[in-house]
Chains A and B, each alone.
Chain A
Amino acid sequence: MTSRAEVEDFLYHEAALLDEWRLDEWLALLTDDAKYRVPSNDAPTGDPANTLFLIADDIDRIRGRVARLKDPHAHAEFPHSRTRRLVTNVRVVENPGDLEVFANFAVYRMRRGGQESVFVGRYRYILRRVGGALRIALREAILDPEELGRLGAVSFIL
């Protein structure tokens, strides 16, 4: 049995790594076949094989995304945004071999010039035990707004 407290600790740790832009340490939380997805706002339950997403990364593209974000030529995130993630309402469903975890999020993104935006939605994770430690096999950030609108882009890791 995995307690909700253990899962919450894991998610809070992940959120802290992302807010602090410790992206290599964040990568180490992923399994070797991990996926990261952000569906289009009007198709929150689609399959990326037949539906246009905003982000549908396999592990290679996640690593490519991190390499890009660490490069000062990733202009949309240079200087880096400040972000602050609030992760709540964590629910854990135990499956054979893995855990399905749902959580709500509000991610504040702040940049110079008074630019502040709030990304609101829910996470869906598939977590797996690798050598005793929890690891992320799937991380899906499902946005609640009807359209991305003034949020503009998902240029950081949501």
Chain B
Amino acid sequence: MSEFVVNDPKGLDFRVHRAAMVDPAVLEREMRRIFDMCWIYAGHESEVTAPGDFVTRTLCGRPVMLCRDSAAKVRVFLNVCRHRGAVVCRERSGNAKGYTCFYHGWSYDRDGKLDGVPGESSYPVSFDRRELGLAEVPRVDSYRGFVFVSFNPRAMALDEYLAGAKEYLDLVIDQSPTGQMELIRGTQEYAIRANWKLLVENSFDDYHLMSTHKTWLDYMKKSGVAIPKPAKGHVMPAHGVGKALGNGHAVIDNENFRGRPVAKWIPIYGEEAKPEIERIRAELVTRLGEERARRVADTNRNLVVFPNLVVNDGSSVTIRTFHPAAPDRMDVTAWALGPKGESAKARAIRLDSFLTFYGPGGFATPDDVEALESVQQGMSTWREVPWSVMTRGMAKAGEQLNTDELHLREFWIQWEKLMDAAP
């Protein structure tokens, strides 16, 4: 499949073939060689806190249940009955003593053990309940509250997989005085009529900010936020860099100009929010020291964990993940993440700040969605206009800007590598 990515550093050429966004055979291969081989974000530990807590969702095309077992251990089961395969738990979330499939009434306990089979005496001696518990996703592990799964039993350890992305997850989690973050109630679930890889690119592509998000920048300006004039060579208000983090993960790491709940006040937050933001800032400095506090509070970071997890630590912290439903459609889920135990006031500021930019009703995300759907329409000309050029910053030695495309190339290089790898 290497015909989809041209990567010629000497010739200063990097191109992506647009058929990769429309070909059903490419998607089929992606499902097997990328989504079934990598570590995939499954949820956050704070979504399930007590024994019996569960949430259900679809990962890589499969219904799964993220839950706490009777020993309060996080488990991820394939949410299908071992008898005929019906989905067992059909509620979005809750707490359960066990899980019963409604079809023939097989029931499972919190640990996934099959503990009830109506009319069991009709089964022959070969029938063994112990072999028919809920199946688990082959690999489950977590990093500081972020739960990942892999459908690949031979996947490398999660720690090794995350590589340099861990440092950037740490920067997010260090916001919290308790060292723990939690998912906030309320889920944004929406579909985009575009190929999933376009959202990967978009999530850390700062080159589009000035043109796609002009109305958001105008709104910020009008509300009294200083939008500094870009320095020469930049097309962004603030300085930022693009960095590769290994295994296809990459990040943009920018000086903040847009305000941060932790902890940089802007006028949109209101005068009355100032003391709270100052208090959060002071706690950060006491706990982490001036330098680390500055790193946490004064930079915005958009992190892509290959292939489909985005953690944006900007106007607020958002976790966003997406799965392809077709070459030209993806289903996106986004949550807000906040420090566990933060004050009611800080939580309100965080959520308000979230909505100025992010989400299907924000002042920016709908225009991103529009851009991706517009690109997808354009992909129909792939036979006549086959290539997308992706060379920004390629000739530079040293620092790559957030508006360059090193981080996009990093994604595509890993994509190509996995697509070419023998299964």
Contact = CB atoms under 8 A, between A and B. Distances in A.
Interface in A91-128: 113
A43 B185 contact: yes
B186 A43 contact: yes
Interface residues of B, number: 41
Nearest to B93: A42
B69 to A, nearest CB: 24
B219 A67 contact: yes
B186 A51 contact: yes
Interface in B154-168: none
A7 to B, nearest CB: 26
B342 to A, nearest CB: 11
Contacts of B348: 48-50
Given A54-B360, A71-B218, A152 B190 contact: yes
B359 interface: yes
Nearest to A60: B223
Interface residues on A, range: 35 or more
A53 B355 contact: yes
Interface in A47-76: 48-57, 60-61, 64-65, 67-68, 71, 73-76
A40 B187 contact: yes
A145 B355 CA distance: 21
A39 B188 CA distance: 9
Nearest to B183: A52
A42 B334 CA distance: 12
A149 B190 CA distance: 4
Contact of A52 (B187, B331, B366): B187
A52 B188 contact: yes
B171 interface: no
A42 B355 contact: no
Contact of B344 (A49, A51, A113, A152): A49
Interface stretch (B76-84, B285-293, B367-375): B367-375
A48 B367 contact: no
B189 A149 contact: yes
Nearest to B214: A73
A61 B192 CA distance: 25
B369 A52 contact: no
A65 B331 CA distance: 26
A65 B363 contact: yes
Contacts of B193: 152
Contacts of B365: 153
B215 interface: yes
Interface in B52-109: 92
List 8 A-B pairs, minimum CB-CB distance, nearest first.
A52-B186, A147-B189, A55-B361, A76-B366, A155-B366, A40-B186, A54-B361, A49-B348
Given A41-B187, A64-B363, A76-B366, 12 more contacts: A46-B185, A52-B185, A52-B354, A53-B186, A53-B355, A71-B214, A73-B214, A77-B366, A146-B92, A149-B189, A152-B360, A153-B361
Interface of A: 38-43, 46, 48-57, 60-61, 64-65, 67-68, 71, 73-77, 113, 146-155
27 contacts: A38-B361, A40-B186, A41-B187, A42-B187, A43-B187, A46-B185, A48-B348, A48-B352, A49-B348, A50-B344, A51-B185, A52-B359, A53-B186, A53-B361, A54-B188, A56-B355, A73-B214, A74-B367, A75-B370, A76-B366, A77-B366, A148-B190, A149-B190, A152-B369, A153-B360, A155-B361, A155-B370
